[in-house]
Amino acid sequence: MDIFLVRHGEASATWGQSADPGLSELGRQQAATAAQALLPLLPDSVTLISSPLARAQETAAPLASALGCDVVIEPVFREIPSPVPLAERQDWLRQFMQQRWQEQGEDLHHWRQAAVDYLHAMPGAAVIFTHFLVINTVAGYALGRAETCHFYPDNGSVTHLRRNGVGTQSVLEVSRLGAELGSFVN
């Protein structure tokens, strides 16, 4: 079963400026480009899923429109929770991205496991519109990586996973990592 993880397009503001920014003009273009790239790859039946955050939902909109289907909003694919106020989030993220999973607390391990469990339980193919660290977390899990950040998916990039098997006995594999960052993480 195919699972495509799409990093949201460029946001109109940084995390230090807004907790939930929408897309910039470039981000809207990246969303349209991702939709066009995905269309020939998708099976006849596919579920579109998005983080509840505006930038992810807006990135999903062009593909949803092209397919004539709804987008399921799923909080498990929301950006990583941080234990600090919004103004301190960028510094916390920079530190987190240089660490390994064994250094993380129980809350972040639960966040990671919830995303992985959801992917194992999905009934069919899906496109998931999500965030930089969610993609890193899931792909890193599938690759057996200990780092919290092991690659830098660009805005609008598509990471292709395959799930072999069903349920808790299934295996997630990375078919292709998305295009690497050409813009900064904001």
pLDDT digits over 137-166, tens only? 999 999 999 999 999 999 999 999 999 987
Which of 13-27, 73-87, 106-120 comes out lowest in average pLDDT?
13-27
The conformation of residue 9, written as its DSSP 8-state character, comes to P
Q: What is the model's pLDDT at position 10?
A: 95
- Sequence-separated (6 or more) residues with CB below 8 Å from residue 56: 8, 50, 77, 129, 130, 131
Per-chain mean pLDDT for the chain: 93
Chain mean position to CA 33: 17
Contact 101, 112 (CB under 8 A): yes
**Whole-number Å distance between alpha carbons of 172 and 139:** 9
Please give the residue that has the higher pLDDT: either 59 or 169: 59
Q: How large is the angle between the packed helices 106-121 and 132-143, nearest 10 degrees?
A: 80
Q: Evaluate if residue 7 carries a pLDDT over 80.
A: yes
Structural fold of domain 2-176: Rossmann fold (3.40.50)
Task: Write the single-letter amino acid at 145.
Answer: R
Ordered by start, the domain boundaries in the chain are 2-176
Segment 29-57 shows an average pLDDT of 97
**Whole-number Å distance between alpha carbons of 161 and 174:** 5
**Digit-coded pLDDT (tens) for 98-122:** 999 999 999 999 999 999 999 999 9
- Sequence-separated (6 or more) residues with CB below 8 Å from residue 88: none
Residue where the block lists tokens 């990471």: 159
